[in-house]
Structure formats: structure tokens, C-alpha cells
Structure 1
Amino acid sequence: MSGGVDSSVTARMLLEQGYDVAPVFMRNWDTLDEASGSGGCEWERDWEAVQRICRESLGGVKPELVDLSKEYWNSVFQEALDDWAAGVTPNPDVNCNQQIKFRELPDRLFDKDPNAWLATGHYARLLPSPLDPSLPSLHRASFLPKDQSYYLSTSPISALSRTLFPLGNLTKDEVRDLARKWSLHTAERKESMGICFVGVRNRFGNFLDSYLEPKPGNIEDASGRVVGQHTGLWRYTIGEGARLGGFPTKMYVGRKDVERNAVVIVPGDSPLLRVTHLSTKDFIWSSPHHPPPAVDSEEGFLVSAQTRSLQAGALSTCIVRRLANGSLSVELLQPIKGVSPGQAVVLYDGSWCLGGGTISSTRTMADEDEEVK
């Protein structure tokens, strides 16, 4: 339980269905560094919310606090800091699910109770695998606007085999309606924002500044003209608004030149923003029966690719091929706008999540135009 409406409703649903419910709260952050902007007490507010739900709505069952802050720092946050410092944009939430929520946490809980299962408030579904019905396969939630299978794409199948996603067939409105029906105080609680369990809601760049040394550089337009200065590449994500005035049209981050420590900004219709190919070196297939043989053929494997949380422009039909070095080449048949190395690329066959990996490089329409020239 996280203290939000989704996990609160999940716990109450399971209780209503007769399950023996044992609420668990993960503490993944351990700092009171106010200069970082984290506030340090976000986890305490969430923990208090969990305890209140248990007292008022779960029959007084006592929740357990599991401190995984050291594991989170070593396996998730430090790795993300290294990526930000290197100029790429990581996705700590994907790594948190893979390393902490569905690895470290189940290891601890299942060691104490071999008959236990894990249940979470994620919007996702588990169905029998088309390749092996004895194993589960991860699928999108029925309510696509809230689907979270993207963030679960690299989570170990061994943990998913003992996991329940009770909200997988519900809409967000239906979840809030259930919370009101059961008089849960989290019914109107706003969606959480920021990286997994750290509690950073605003001024994320300031938060990272407290961990990374400033590295000033130029902000340039596509012609190379210097139009501003930055204090660190980690403050910018490819595809986001550039937040610079003095231009006739809104400008976006089109590229981060790590070698020159420069940020390149472009208008929204620039071919520099439209990615046609990407590659990943660490792709994790969710099924032990994958990769499919077609990835080693010249024709490749036709699926769909998702490069960020599900929204307009984040999906593309693609052709996947495995290269000689073992990495995957993903050819996007419909270019995706604003794809950033370090983020996750997740492959789908319909609603079936086939797995995910970290984007190591991209090629844009602008790169292809240069090749033609």
C-alpha cells in the first residue's frame, strides 16, 4: 500500500472477497535533505495514510513497514544519478518495479510466508501466456488511459506469477466510486507525481542539483546560434518544452549533445524531434519462450513499441530485428516525437506486453535527411 486511492481500494476489494489481507508499506527513501526539494517527509505522510486506512477501513489490521531505502539507493537511484550525469534521461519507476517492488520486496515477504501472494494497485492484467498457459503474461489494463504495464515491463516473471492486479479491469472513476462507497479517506486524493517513492513533486531540476555538480553549457538553435545557457544536461529531456522566450513559436528540446555539453532547441515541427529508429542493448523478454525466431530474420518481428507513459504519439507499429551484437534494432513505421535515450522502450503484441529495455540510441528524420545529403 502506498497511501493512495488505488492501493486502498485494492486492499478493501481483497478483504471483501475473503482474502487474508496483510498491508505492507515500502519505505524507499531515507533523507531529510530539504535543500534537495524532496522535503524528506513525503514517505511519512504516505505511511500515516496507510495506517489510517487500516484502522478505519480494513478492520484495524496493522500494516507492516518494510525499509528498502538502502536497496533503492543502490539499485535504482544511484544508477539513475549516473545516467542523468551522463546526459541521458532514465526512468527510475521502471527500474524500481524491476529491482525493488517485484524483486527485493517479494524475496522478503515470501521468505516469511511461502504461501503468500503480492497484490498491488497497478492498472494491469495477468492472463495465461499464449506460449505456455502454465505461466502468466502481462497485459495492458482494460482502461487504457491508466494502463501501467509499461512500468511493469521488466519485472521478474517469477514475482508476477504470484501477483494480483485487482484493478486491471476497472476505470479510475470506478475505483474512486468504490472508495466513496467504502468511505475511504483517500477517495479524493490527487495522483502522485515524481519519481518512485521519493516524493519529489515540483522543482525536479533543483532536486537533482543537490546531488550533481553544476556543468554549465550552451543552449543553441538548430543552426548552432547560442540562445541561452544551462547549468546541467540533466535539467532537460528530449521532446519537452524549452521554456525560453523570444521565439515566434514554442521551442522544444531536440537534442542533447553530450560531447559538447550543449542543448539544441527546435520548433515543434522539426524533423529532429521525430524518431524513426531506436536500439536497446538490455531488452528483457517477459516470456522464457522468447525472443521469437522472427527477430533473427531479415523481415523482422512486427509488433508495437511504446516509449513513454501511454499518451498520444507514444506508440508506433515497428519492426524489431536482433543485431549481431545481441542488441535489438526497432524500426518505427510511424515516427514518434521526442524519444529520449535512457527511457524505456516496451514492445506489445496487441495488449500483451512482451518486455522492455533501455533506449541506448535513436535516429531521427533529421539524421536520415543528413544521410541523403
Structure 2
Amino acid sequence: MRNWDALDERGACAADRDCEDAARVCHLLDIPFRHVTFVKEYWHDVFTDFLNEYEKGRTPNPDILCNKHVKFKAFFRYAVEHLGADAMATGHYARTSLEDEEVFEQKHVPRREGLFRDRFEVRNAVKLLQGADAAKDQTFFLSQVSQEALRRTIFPLGGLTKGFVKKIAAENGLGHVLQRKESMGICFIGKRHLESFLLQYLQPRPGNFVSIEDHKVLGTHQGCFLFTLGQGAKIGGLRDPWYVVDKDLSRGDVFVAPGPDHPALYRDLLRTGRVHWIAEEPPAQLVHDKMMECHVRWRHQMALAPCVLTLNQDGSVWVTAVKPMKSLATGQFAVFYKGDECLGSGKIMRLGPSAYTLQLGKSLSAATREAGQGPKSHRPPTDPAN
């Protein structure tokens, strides 16, 4: 797939090298190689959202949206409808509840228009399961994939470890791909600096770095959208590291705290947008009890955190963590798990107050009652979600 138009970019595009490597592998295996372009779909469904989210002060995850809208939608339909494929195979380290044989036994069912008619088609839901290699599991990036695509997809690497896959490649004459570094990060940014890249598309909105502790202005920046919560803030003239803990888009203030483990970095509550549930819409236990225990992660490969979900009428959920969670940011996806099963995900839309803010609020209330003083200027916003 070619999803990003690099004609206007400087330097060589890694996608060209990817294409050459894929063609060479196909030649060695004596299978046909096809090249399909989804630049238009990627721009409208992924990159536009990427820019809009940053402009709103959020931190998007375009890799999850790329799988949802491009690889498991546009490409999937191309493979099934134009190439006549029985199934799609990808190199993700993930598994499903279907055996490969079951995938190929399925007959193609034409897509029906209209939600009401779709309800008459009853099928056993396909579950998305974590890969055998826990260090490489990629279900996080597949948490928005549809049932339609998932039931016609196989993951040949799901039961293998990365090391064993490399061994297979080396034994079959595919050593040229083993020399390459793993692809990490956002594909259309590549090795470029994120801040410089964003400023090519978004107008600078200068503001101040403000200390969360004494509310002093420590420096200036080019825009709140350039920073995500938990990120280190490089402030000129300061030797010790400071970290972003909050943002006020209306004022342009980025609130920072000293040290990587400051209590202002930790929160135990968040609210998502409408959750995409993979197998059950939503899980029966959550519907029945309005609450459900499970695990959550909002970054790939981070340790799963135990939490409790509370279902809202609009399909969103409140997520209450058993222990405070570090560096949460709106715009990221909260991905939910029960055992090996990836249940689905929802975009983080609101954050609860940090432990530091709660402590500060109590202290300010007490001080205000005693001294009758109002709050100082440069306060962080009361609703950090904006």
C-alpha cells in the first residue's frame, strides 16, 4: 500500500524501500506482487484527523486510524471485491478466535446497506486475541477494526515470536529484510522532528510555560498543540528537566512540573468517546451491571493497568484506575482487555483531576477560608479536557 504522497517531501521516502523489499520477497516466493495507492483515503480519514486533533490540543494515534480506515477497510475491500481474495493476511502479532481453516470456509456475504437490515444477519462474533509474543503484541493498533474485516483476516505471525520469525526468514533466503530496522513511529513523519513537521501545517500560537507549583512563567513556546501530557519540556535556561502536566488552550499556557514523577502527572479517572467494541457491542456484563472490571492501556507495549469501566448512555465509558495512571492525554485511545482478549477501544476525551490538583484544591480552600484570599493568576483549567 502507498498511503502517503512523498513527492513534495525532501529526501528519500522509506515507503519506496518498503516497496522494493516487498517486491523482492514476492519474487523469491514466486507469488504476484501488486501495488495499490490509498493516498486520498489516508489524507481524508487519517491525516486530516491527525491535524485536527493536534489543533484541539489532543494527542492523536494515526496508526490506529490507519488500520481502521485504510488497511482493514479500503485495502480489505480492494482485496475482496477487486482481487477476489478469500481472506487477507497481515504481519501483525495478533490472533483471532477463528482457526485459519474457518476463515477460508466462510462464503462472501455482500455488504448490506442500512443498520436495520444488518440486524437480521446473526453470526458468531470473532474475538481479537493477543499474540503469543507479549513483547510484540499489536492488538493495541487493531482495537478499532471492524467485525467484517476481522472475520476474513488471518495473522500468520500470531502464534510465533519475533525471534522465530527471523529464523524462518533467514532459512528461506530473506536475509535482506532482516538487516532493516523495525518501523517505529508515524509513517508520514518518519525520522523528522514532530514539532517541525506540525509547524508546516499548523499556524504557531505562542504561549507561556507556567510552573504548576508557583505559577511563575518559565519560558515561551510556539503552541500548546506541540506538547502532550507527560512529555519533557525543553525550556531555555533551565538545566533540570520539566514535564508537561496540563494545558490551557484559551490562554496558551502549558503547565509544567519538575521531575518525571511529579504527582501532577498522575490521574485515576478518564472518560472516552463512544467505544468501539470488537466482539460484543457492548459486553453483556457491562450492559447488565453498568460496570465491569478489566485492564486498560493507552500506549503500545505499556503494562496493562487494572480498572473499572462505567457505561454511559451515549456509548462512552468512565475509566477508573485501581492505581493512578501516568501521562494520560486526551486524543489517545484507551484500549481494553479481558485476559488475552482485546475488547475494543475509545478515544480519551476528558481527564479527571490529578492528585496534585486535588491536594492543591483542598489547600487553597482551607487557605481561602482562613485568609479570605482568591486564587492566583495562571491557574490550570478546571476541566483539563477542554
Flag whether TM exceeds 0.5 (same fold).
Answer: yes
CA contact (8 A) 2:286 2:311 kept: no
Paired amino acid for 2:201 = Y
Looking at structure 1, the residues matched to 229 and 162 of structure 2 have their Cα atoms a distance apart, in angstroms, of 29
Corresponding position: 1:66 with 2:66: no
Q: How many residues align?
A: 337
Aligned to 1:237: 228
Paired amino acid for 2:229 = I
TM-score normalized with structure 1 length: 0.84
List per-residue Cα deviations over 1:298-354 (Å, max 9, x = no partner).
6x2000011111125xx3111100124442100011111101100000110011011
299, 313, 332: which one aligns with 1:343: 332
CA contact (8 A) 1:295 1:321 kept: no
CA contact (8 A) 1:296 1:321 kept: no
Gaps of 5+ in 2: 100-121, 366-386
**SS of aligned partner of 1:45:** helix
CA contact (8 A) 1:215 1:232 kept: yes
**SS of aligned partner of 2:321:** strand
CA contact (8 A) 1:193 1:201 kept: no
Looking at structure 1, the residues matched to 5 and 327 of structure 2 have their Cα atoms a distance apart, in angstroms, of 33
**SS of aligned partner of 1:144:** coil
Looking at structure 1, the residues matched to 193 and 85 of structure 2 have their Cα atoms a distance apart, in angstroms, of 43
Tell me whether 221-230 or 84-93 shows the greater mean CA deviation.
Answer: 221-230
Aligned to 1:89: 59
* Equivalent residue runs for 1:222-301 within 5 Å: 222=212, 223-244=214-235, 247=238, 249-266=240-257, 267-295=259-287, 297=289, 300-301=291-292
Looking at structure 1, the residues matched to 314 and 97 of structure 2 have their Cα atoms a distance apart, in angstroms, of 33
In structure 2, the CA distance between the partners of 1:247 and 1:231, relative to structure 1 (3 Å rule), is closer
Looking at structure 2, the residues matched to 213 and 246 of structure 1 have their Cα atoms a distance apart, in angstroms, of 25
Tell me whether 71-80 or 105-114 shows the greater mean CA deviation.
Answer: 105-114
**SS of aligned partner of 2:135:** helix
In structure 2, the CA distance between the partners of 1:248 and 1:41, relative to structure 1 (3 Å rule), is closer
CA contact (8 A) 2:79 2:85 kept: no
Identity over the aligned pairs, expressed in percent? 36
Tell me whether 169-178 or 83-92 shows the greater mean CA deviation.
Answer: 169-178
317, 320, 344: which one aligns with 1:355: 344
TM-score normalized with structure 2 length: 0.82
5, 26, 42: which one aligns with 1:54: 26
Paired amino acid for 2:225 = W
Aligned Cα root-mean-square deviation (Å): 2.2
In structure 2, the CA distance between the partners of 1:260 and 1:296, relative to structure 1 (3 Å rule), is farther
In structure 2, the CA distance between the partners of 1:262 and 1:295, relative to structure 1 (3 Å rule), is farther
Aligned-pair CA distance for 1:173: 1.6
Looking at structure 2, the residues matched to 175 and 215 of structure 1 have their Cα atoms a distance apart, in angstroms, of 47
